[in-house]
């Protein structure tokens, strides 16, 4: 019944009662962001809102750089805008999962995961 009430963009897999102090952002164990990149100058208007046109990229170098940062505890404050609030963003030292891979012809996928992100952190890592 819940699935009929939700918009098509949301898929509920399970429903459980949350603890009284549960916070959707702050209580998350891990969050994942995916950025789909188009390595061409233009894409179909139907795809434009779902990918970032970057032009040609060196995906091999990007994947190598991502592997050097993947799952290492590092200070990510350089990738943030503004002053991080520890109660909300957690510590600036994060252990981030980071991967770059091909995602079809002229496409790449950047996947970033962490317990809490700093403000605009993922956009700055990908950008």
Q: What is the DSSP string of 48-91?
A: GGGSEE--S--HHHHHHHHHHHTT-EEE-GGG-SS---HHHH--
The whole-angstrom separation of Cα 98 and Cα 80 is 16
Residue with the bigger pLDDT between 32 and 87: it is 32
DSSP label at residue 114: E
pLDDT tens track for 22-69? 887 777 778 899 999 999 999 999 999 999 999 999 999 999 999 998
Q: Which residues pair with 111 in a beta bridge?
A: 34, 99
The whole-angstrom separation of Cα 94 and Cα 71 is 9
> Which pLDDT belongs to residue 95?
87
The whole-angstrom separation of Cα 101 and Cα 60 is 8
> Which pLDDT belongs to residue 56?
93
Question: How much of the chain, in percent, has pLDDT values that exceed 90?
Answer: 38
């Amino acid at each position: 019944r819940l699935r009929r009430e939700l918009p098509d963009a949301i898929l509920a897999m399970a429903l459980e009662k949350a603890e009284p102090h549960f916070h959707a952002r702050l209580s998350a164990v891990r969050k994942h962001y995916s950025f789909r990149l188009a390595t061409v100058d233009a894409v179909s208007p139907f795809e434009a809102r779902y990918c970032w046109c970057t032009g040609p990229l060196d995906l091999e170098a990007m994947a190598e750089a991502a592997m050097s940062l993947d799952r290492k505890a590092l200070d990510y404050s350089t990738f943030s805008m503004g002053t991080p609030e520890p109660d909300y963003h957690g510590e600036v030292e994060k252990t981030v999962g980071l991967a770059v891979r091909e995602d079809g012809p002229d496409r790449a996928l950047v996947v970033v995961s962490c317990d809490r992100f700093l403000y605009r952190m993922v956009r700055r890592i990908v950008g």
